[in-house]
């Protein structure tokens, strides 16, 4: 999942080409600065003038989005688009335009501009750095999911060939229906049990079931996907307790993916792959297998 403005280095990192960004940086700054100015002016305006200012602020945001699409910088447009959604909520009287609301919107603009300037200075693309400002916007929006994984965009192409990725000459046959029934029973333990030891044991058994699925795969793409899910399962005991709700959601989404296998659907959900990789990337003491998957 590499953008058109990046090239791969010998170390498998994405080397950002700053030329396209440098061409549109002035336009981006002007658009975001103008949008912020209009939002602040709207705070003290009468209803009709305020409506005009909000509409103009959205127009400037559209200009910024157009420029961002040209340079294909992951994550940044998600932040500015969220501001636009909040402006629409103000227009529809679903959100009050207060100094605190405008402050969070303009702080997001400044964060985006700082981030882009850092890219021009040679920093790597790490849009997760925008999460504090993005989180503040999502809280205004009342979003159900607020997690930094939404700003995590690893290159999903395999950077290094490892033995684990090799397809078996005679893939193991697996009854997905039976596997799913066993998985769901264990999932219930993980989701509801108050016994940490029982949860850990269930996670280990789920990992073994995922391994059976992974060894039955016949394409490189699906093999890689289930290897990542297996690495997620093997790492589950090391995730931050504060992320427990999100980890449980990933387990549930893996279960949904097994159900799709039962139905004959082998498509790989990129969002689930990114979310699992986000957690795997944070493991402080990875097993040799998990370390290999991270390396790949």
Mind listing the pLDDT tens digit for each residue in 201-223?
A: 999 999 999 999 999 998 888 88
In tens, the pLDDT along 49-92 reads 999 999 999 999 988 988 888 887 878 989 999 999 999 999 99
Q: Virtual CA dihedral for 42, 43, 49, 50, nearest 10 degrees?
A: 70
Span 134-153, pLDDT tens digits = 999 999 999 888 888 888 88
Output the pLDDT for position 180: 94
C-alpha distances in Å from residue 33, one per residue of 48, 58, 86, 114, 135 = 22, 12, 17, 12, 21
Confidence of residue 251 (pLDDT cuts 50, 70, 90): very high
Residue given tokens 């059976």 in the structure block: 212
SS (H, E, C) 133-159: HHHHHHHHHCCCCCCHHHHCCCCCCCC
CA–CA dist 256, 234 (Å, integer)? 19
- Most confident of the ranges 105-114, 120-129, 230-239: 105-114
Q: Does 4 have pLDDT greater than 60? A: no
Q: pLDDT value at position 237?
A: 82
Is the sign of the CA dihedral 264, 270, 271, 277 positive or negative?
positive
C-alpha–C-alpha distance, residues 79 and 220, integer Å? 33
pLDDT band at 194 (very low <50, low <70, confident <90, very high): confident
- Judged against a pLDDT cut of 50, whether residue 11 lies above it is answered with no
Residue 15 to residue 124: CA distance in whole angstroms:
7
- What does the pLDDT read at residue 7? 41
pTM exceeding the 0.85 threshold for the entire prediction: no
With a cut of 50, say whether residue 2 has pLDDT above it.
Answer: no
Q: What is the dihedral of CA 139, 128, 73, 267, to 10 degrees?
A: -90
Q: What's the CA gap between 171 and 212, in Å, rounded?
A: 10
What is the pLDDT, as a whole number, of residue 156? 67
Question: Is 141 within 8 Å of 86 (Cβ atoms)?
Answer: yes
Give dist(CA 275, CA 232) in Å, integer: 10
CA 98 from chain centre, in angstroms, equals 29
Q: Tell me, what DSSP letter sits at residue 163?
A: G
158 has pLDDT over 70: no
Task: Determine the Cα–Cα distance for residues 235 and 163; give it in Å rounded to an integer.
Answer: 20
Question: What value, to the nearest 5°, has the Cα angle with vertex 153 and ends 224 and 74?
Answer: 140
What per-residue confidence (pLDDT) applies to 292? Answer: 87
Is the distance from CB of 235 to CB of 283 less than 8 angstroms?
A: yes
**Residue position matching structure tokens 């990875």:** 286
DSSP assigned state of 14: E
Question: What does the pLDDT read at residue 172?
Answer: 81
């Amino acid at each position: 999942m590499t953008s058109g403005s990046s090239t791969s280095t010998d170390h498998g990192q994405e080397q950002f080409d700053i030329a396209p960004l440098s061409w549109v940086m002035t336009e981006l700054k002007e658009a975001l600065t103008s949008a912020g100015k209009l939002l602040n002016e709207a705070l003290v305006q009468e209803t009709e003038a305020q409506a005009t200012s909000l509409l103009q602020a959205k127009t400037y945001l559209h200009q910024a989005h157009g420029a961002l699409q040209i340079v294909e910088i992951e994550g940044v447009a998600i932040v500015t688009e969220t501001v636009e959604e909040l402006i629409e909520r103000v227009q529809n009287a679903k959100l009050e335009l207060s100094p605190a609301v405008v402050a969070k919107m303009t702080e997001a603009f400044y964060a985006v501009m700082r981030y882009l300037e850092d890219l021009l200075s040679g920093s790597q693309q790490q849009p997760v750095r925008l999460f504090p400002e993005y989180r503040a916007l999502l809280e205004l929006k009342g979003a159900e999911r607020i997690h930094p994984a939404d700003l995590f965009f690893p290159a999903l192409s395999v950077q290094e060939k490892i033995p684990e990725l090799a397809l078996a000459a005679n893939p193991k046959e697996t009854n997905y229906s039976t596997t799913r029934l066993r998985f769901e029973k264990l999932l219930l333990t993980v989701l509801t049990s108050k016994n940490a030891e029982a949860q850990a044991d269930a996670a280990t058994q789920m990992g073994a079931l995922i391994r059976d699925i992974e060894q039955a795969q016949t394409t490189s793409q699906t093999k890689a996907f289930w290897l990542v899910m297996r690495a997620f399962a093997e790492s589950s005991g090391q995730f931050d307790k504060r992320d427990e709700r999100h980890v449980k959601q990933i387990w549930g989404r893996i279960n949904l993916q097994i159900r799709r296998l039962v139905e004959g659907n082998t498509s790989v959900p990129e969002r689930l792959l990114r979310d699992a990789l986000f957690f795997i990337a944070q493991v402080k003491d990875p097993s040799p297998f998990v370390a290999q998957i991270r390396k790949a």
